[in-house]
Amino acid sequence: MQIHTLENINLEVLVETFNSAFAEYFVPIKLDVKLLTDKIKSENILLKYSVGVTMNNQLAGFILIGVDSASSLAYNAGTGTIPEFRGQQLTEKMYAYLIPQLDKIGIQNHTLEVICENKKTLKIYEALGYSISRTLICYKGKISASKKSDYRIKAIDLPNETDVKQFLNQKPAYQNSLFCIKNNPEMHSAFGAFNNERLIGYIVFDKNTLRIKQFGVDQNFRNKAIGHQLFYEVQIQIPEAVIVIINVDESDSETNNFLQNIGLNKFIAQYEMYLNA
């Protein structure tokens, strides 16, 4: 058994291992090289700090690590072990290698998400020192036309945090942060809602999959169909696509009620977890 970084691993090998590890997951995930490349870019996954374990000349497991140096934060962007090598505590062994390496570059804060039903993995992370910070809900569905509002919707540049932070009810999870969005601007588009020339709402999404990354409406302009119109504007970009938004804070009842009211359905819940090493 050899534990090592992933910087010298061919991306096709990493994709094959990833897909094997997640083939029978609670929500099956399948990547190709382009999707993995986009994920690496968006989430600032640094392969020189990500970890793999090789057994019998085969990549048996991995931990992908995204880094936000400004926040001294490491994001576990995916941990997996292929079926034939499970039950050998490879996750624990990779973390024993990983944490000291990140500590050397000043990264002591760690975060990840784990599906609530995944009790076995949850126990592993708790044993490593992670604790649950909040529950996150994931939604999907199709958006029907909304009633017309009196406000103009148009395409906008990706927003700055200072311009939209006041529209949010909750802190975005790592993947949905503007840090990740702006790491890969070519992958994302945005619409804004305007009252005359004043921005009063916005939505940011992956223009290839229509996954919603962020949205918000000025508190003084809520319950006026603006949020619904923004979602519908995304839907009509690819009418046959299913809209997905992941990692909505369960404690934010206003946002969860809104998403259900416009036709989205819960499909999974995750725990966001933190570790200070």
* pLDDT tens per residue, range 92-121: 999 999 999 999 999 999 999 999 999 999
The overall average pLDDT reported for the chain is 96
For 110-149, write each residue's pLDDT tens digit: 999 999 999 999 999 999 999 999 999 999 999 999 888 8
Q: Which residue has the tokens 């540049």?
A: 157
| CA angle 97–112–53, rounded 5-degree value | 30
| pLDDT recorded at residue 150 | 86
- Tell me the CA end-to-end span of the chain in Å, nearest whole number: 25
Contact 211, 169 (CB under 8 A): no
Please, which pLDDT band fits residue 182 given cuts at 50, 70 and 90? Answer: very high
CB atoms within 10 A of CB 158: 15
How long is the chain?
A: 277
What single letter denotes the amino acid at residue 253?
S
Q: Name 271's bridge partners.
A: 114, 135
Rounded CA-CA distance 227/202 in Å is: 8
Domains contained in the chain, CATH given: 2-107 (3.40.630.30), 138-271 (3.40.630.30)
Give per-residue pLDDT as tens, 228-260: 999 999 999 999 999 999 999 999 999 999 999
State percent of the chain over pLDDT 90: 96
Task: Look at strands 211-217 and 243-249 and give their pairing.
Answer: parallel
Both structure tokens of 4: 């090592």
d(CA 3, CA 61): 9
